[in-house]
Amino acid sequence: MRDFLPRGGLKGQGLIKPRVDGRIVKGLLKVGIIGASGYTGLELIRLLLRHPEVEITTITSEKYAGHKISEVFPSLEGWIELNYEKLQPRDIATDCQLVFMALPHLSSMALVPLLRKDRLRIIDLSADFRLKDPQTFAQWYDCTHACPELLSEAVYGLPEIYRPPIKDAQIVANPGCYPTGIILALAPLLKEKLIDGKFILVDSKSGISGAGRKVELEYQFCECHDALKAYQPVMHRHIPEIEQELSCLAGEEVLVSFTPHLAPMSRGILNTIYVKPKVEHPLQNIMEWYQNFYQNEPFIRLRGPGSLPDTRQVVGTNCCDIALFWDKRNKLLKIISVIDNLVKGASGQAIQNMNIMYNFGEKTGLDTPTMYP
């Protein structure tokens, strides 16, 4: 597949940021994307192309090295002229000030120590640096961690909880897609110790892009279109990550039962969460705690009574919508949260972290409303 651009093309008119103009480029943050052949990598490119403070200097993919990015993703035709490169850890520090790592799980941890020597700042989108305890890591990932000494140094990149340490972090462990929506839905309750930490039940529904760009029978159109199923119904690898963060918020060990499902849509996660209040509070009060907790948060939208979060209302944005319902018959609080798994659940949150790390406006590059329908 080889496309041609009209002479002069899109570039001449500025769809591509004018990197040729030395004066502007000088001030831009040089970023690299390592392993950009999947959907999170593509989403990073899409969002960074519109980010006014950033210049993408390097995009690597072992699989596509030498190919134009717009050849692999024709939707980027006219927006980017870079080629994929093979990863050269030594060159990265020269070319970049910050790298986003969008590699498969277990691939980042071997690489990060090499990159770190060069004082590069790193936002890792894999699961490799999210767990603090190497033993928990070993247990859930069937694998000894390659650099356990870095686990405590890495900062868990959920801005609503860890904004100050993210600011100064060298390594940010960008949260998983399920953990993001679940932790945000529960943080105010756990922080205030309002609920029983031993009873947290999470029923999640994810679009198919959550499985990545892997080519497998299970994710073929004809196999998952018009269909819904659960998967990994008791031991999904996001559990220790969720429990670590919720325990930390609660100040006590928290236990979560988690059941993910695959829904026939491209993007979006909806979490339906069931918890037991220790004491019965009017729903209105609980909502006010949420409002206080999130009052300065640019991407949290609390939905009012009767408003039901819908994945389509957040798709393409970095928003997390949260709604609360009181089931008085069963004395259960039901919390529903929705995010776009590839934005707030991955690449958008990574950019939000970058914005914090470099003192850019936190919403810079993330200010596009949902496309609907």
Return the residues of window 99-158 that contact a second copy according to CB under 8 A. none
Minimum separation from the CB atom of position 273 to a second copy (A): 10
Among the listed residues 96, 143, 147, 177, the single catalytic one is: 177
Residue 231 contacts a second copy per CB under 8 A: yes
Binding residue count for a second copy, defined by CB under 8 A:
115
Q: How far apart are CA 175 and CA 152, in angstroms?
A: 15
Binding to a second copy (CB under 8 A) within 336-355 occurs at 336, 338
Q: Please compute, for residue 98, the number of CA atoms within 13 A of its CA located in the half-sphere on the CB side.
A: 26
Q: How far apart are CA 339 and CA 300, in angstroms?
A: 10
Q: Which stretch binds a second copy (CB under 8 A): 107-115, 143-151, 245-253, 358-366?
A: 358-366
Q: Which stretch binds a second copy (CB under 8 A): 132-140, 148-156, 168-176, 300-308?
A: 300-308
Contacts of 276 (CB under 8 A, 6+ apart): 195, 196, 199, 331, 332, 333
Say whether 248 is catalytic. Answer: no
Minimum separation from the CB atom of position 76 to a second copy (A): 6
Residue 53 contacts a second copy per CB under 8 A: no
Q: Which of 22, 142, 225, 282 binds a second copy (CB under 8 A)?
A: 225
Q: Which stretch binds a second copy (CB under 8 A): 67-75, 85-93, 161-169, 349-357?
A: 67-75
Contacts of 321 (CB under 8 A, 6+ apart): 301, 302, 303, 309, 313, 314, 337, 338, 339
Residues 161-190 vs a second copy: string with x where CB under 8 A?
A: ------------------------------
Residue among 183, 341, 319 at smallest CA distance from 262:
341
Q: How far apart are CA 46 and CA 96, in angstroms?
A: 18
Does residue 320 contact residue 344 with C-beta atoms inside 8 Å? Answer: yes
Tokens of residue 23, six digits:
């004066």
Q: Which of 90, 193, 278, 363 binds a second copy (CB under 8 A)?
A: 363
The catalytic site residues sit at 177
